[in-house]
Structure 1
Amino acid sequence: MKSRESLIRLKQFQVDERRRQLAQIESMVDEFKRMARELDDQILAEQERVGITDVGHFAYPTFAKAAAQRRDNLLNSAEELNGQLEAAREDLREALEELKKFELLEERDQIRERQERDAAEQDALDEVAARRKSRI
């Protein structure tokens, strides 16, 4: 019984670790997207400041070109992390299934033990009742 309890604690730890990893990846994706939006705002502000929105124009601001490149890199990184995010979600689902399986086994064993205890108590009560009846 103790080994199963240890195994359940291990599975719970694994589930918690998978949740932490999932949250970390989600946070990174959100942060990359937020940074990309900020760069978009900076690009638009720079374009308005100089009055040139055509990227091919010879006087297009260098800052806007560099910011656009950084934004694209961030969005690409966020997209790559989405693949890791799906893998992390699948790992969490699998860990939860394993935990649930062991918890169900533990619950089944506890029910069986309770039934055995109840049966032993009932046997003891039946024996006491039989002794009383035989005295009468």
Structure 2
Amino acid sequence: MKKDNLTRLARFKLNEKRRQVEQLELMMAEFDRMCADLDAQIASEEAKSGITDQNHFAYPMFAKAAHQRRANLANSVNDLRVQINAAKIALEEAEAEFEHAEKLQQRDAQREEADLPRMAHG
């Protein structure tokens, strides 16, 4: 029974690590989409004003703010990449731990099956 609990715990950890990786990847995809939206808004503002130089005195304020937001999002995406890499390593470790727990449980089950005939005769 103890090995069964070990397997359940390992499965729980594995599922949790998978969920974390998925969540981080979804967040990164959303940030990438937001960056693309901001790029489109910046291009639209620049096209309306006819000014693409951010240092020009008449550069649209909205475009300046959008550039800053996009830079912040890009930094967040880079941070998420680091977190995803760490989460994937943790996921691999959880997968190995789960496989090990399953093997232990199977080994114990086989031993118990082998012991049953001996108990019936003895």
TM-score, normalization by structure 1: 0.82
Aligned partner of 2:32 in structure 1 is 33
Aligned partner of 2:75 in structure 1 is 76
Gaps of 5+ in 1: 125-136
- Rounded to whole Å, the distance in 2 between the matches of 1:110 and 1:7 is 14
Q: Which gives a bigger RCO, structure 1 or 2 (Cα 8 Å, sep 6+)?
A: 2
Deviation (angstroms), 1:81: 1.1
Q: What are the residue-to-residue correspondences of 1:2-81 with 2, within 5 Å? A: 2-81=1-80
Moved over 4 A (4+): none
2:30 is paired with a residue whose SS is: helix
- Rounded to whole Å, the distance in 2 between the matches of 1:50 and 1:101 is 63
Deviation (angstroms), 1:111: 2.4
- Root-mean-square deviation (CA, aligned residues, Å) is 1.7
- Rounded to whole Å, the distance in 2 between the matches of 1:11 and 1:56 is 56
- Rounded to whole Å, the distance in 1 between the matches of 2:104 and 2:50 is 69
String of CA shifts for 1:16-42, please: whole Å, max 9, x gaps: 111111111111111111101000000
Letter in 2 for 1:98: E
- Rounded to whole Å, the distance in 1 between the matches of 2:106 and 2:6 is 14
- Rounded to whole Å, the distance in 2 between the matches of 1:102 and 1:15 is 12
Identity %: 46
Question: Which has the higher Rg, Structure 1 or Structure 2?
Answer: 1
1:7 is paired with a residue whose SS is: helix
Aligned partner of 1:104 in structure 2 is 103
String of CA shifts for 1:78-110, please: whole Å, max 9, x gaps: 101111111111111111111100101111222
